Amino acid sequence: MRPSSTDTAPYVARVEKIEADNKSNIKVRVRWYYRPEESMGGRRQFHGAKELFLSDHYDVQSAHTIEGKCIVHSFKNYTKLENVAPEDYYCRFEYKASTGGFTPDRVAVYCKCEMPYNPDDLMVQCDGCKDWYHPACVDMSIEDAKKLDHFMCADCSSEDNIKKPERTFPASPLANGKVRYILTNFTSLRLDYAMFLIPLTACSLG
């Protein structure tokens, strides 16, 4: 939908209902998607450029404000896209505008930096522990990481009796079992991600 100024990215909303008033003006009832920078916690490093949150904020707008159609993918489907078009977005969280809360309330994290997956960033999987790593976090350039067929993190390569790996990388961390989680209450998450780690046994992600 058309933003108020031309240098702003378009607003994204889900159309819930289309109706005409008694003067035949077409109105749409919409449910807004929020961009990370519009949420209370702001944009964070793991938020992708095309990430949106489905909010609980509804509105009625003139149908004239609609600029075009876009597609909001599930996170999993988005990571499988071969090419991301300008109209492709994804949503992995619902967002409560009044409290800044997210649903689901936890998210898987990867790498030494304990970060949720940002689909814009390349990650490599360790053949040993199966965790995923940002090349920068393991002192590797992105160019080198792209050329890799196999990768062993420092912890795993220091252990001698690792079984021979069977396969190369799946496409993304989502293809892998979920490992560790943090609470998605990012507004209180300023200092230390590790403080919010939850034991695996306590987790079930819908």
Residues within the interface to Zn ion (CB under 5 A):
111, 113, 126, 128-129, 134, 137, 153, 156
Cβ contact 107:182 at 8 Å: yes
Angle at 126 between CA 80 and CA 149, to 5 degrees: 70
Closer Cβ to Zn ion, 138 or 183, answer by number: 138
Nearest alpha carbon to residue 119 among 84, 151, 150: 84
Q: Report, in Å, the least distance between residue 103 CB and Zn ion.
A: 25
Closer Cβ to Zn ion, 84 or 137, answer by number: 137
Closer Cβ to Zn ion, 50 or 134, answer by number: 134
Q: Report, in Å, the least distance between residue 80 CB and Zn ion.
A: 22
Closer Cβ to Zn ion, 64 or 150, answer by number: 150
Type and span of the H or E element at 46: none
CA distance linking residue 158 with residue 137, whole number of Å: 17
Q: Report, in Å, the least distance between residue 119 CB and Zn ion.
A: 14
Closer Cβ to Zn ion, 101 or 173, answer by number: 173
Amino acid sitting at position 85: A
Q: Report, in Å, the least distance between residue 112 CB and Zn ion.
A: 6
Q: What tokens appear for 141 in the block? A: 């350039």
- Size of the chain in residues: 206
Q: Report, in Å, the least distance between residue 113 CB and Zn ion.
A: 3
The Cα diameter of the chain in Å comes to 77
